[in-house]
Amino acid sequence: MSSNQSEYLTEEEVEKLEVTCRFCDSEIRIKGLAEHIGNEYPKDLTQN
């Protein structure tokens, strides 16, 4: 086992990633995803 970290992304790479929100199908930068979900679906995620 080598100890390189190739499976991990750098912060710069993370900032460039975009994902599709499974709830509303909008494409969002991954760093904004938590905020997006908190804004769009606060009741769904906090009142379980």
In 3-state terms, what secondary structure has residue 28? Answer: strand
In 3-state terms, what secondary structure has residue 18? Answer: strand
pLDDT per residue over 30-45, tens digit each? 767 777 777 766 665 5
pTM score above 0.85: no
- Distance CA(24)–CA(1), nearest Å, equals 41
- Domain spans in the chain, listed from the N-terminal domain onward: 15-46
Residue type, 3: S
pLDDT per residue over 5-22, tens digit each? 567 778 888 777 777 777
- Distance CA(4)–CA(6), nearest Å, equals 6
Is the pLDDT reported for residue 46 higher than 80? no
pLDDT at residue 48 in the model: 47
- Distance CA(20)–CA(24), nearest Å, equals 8
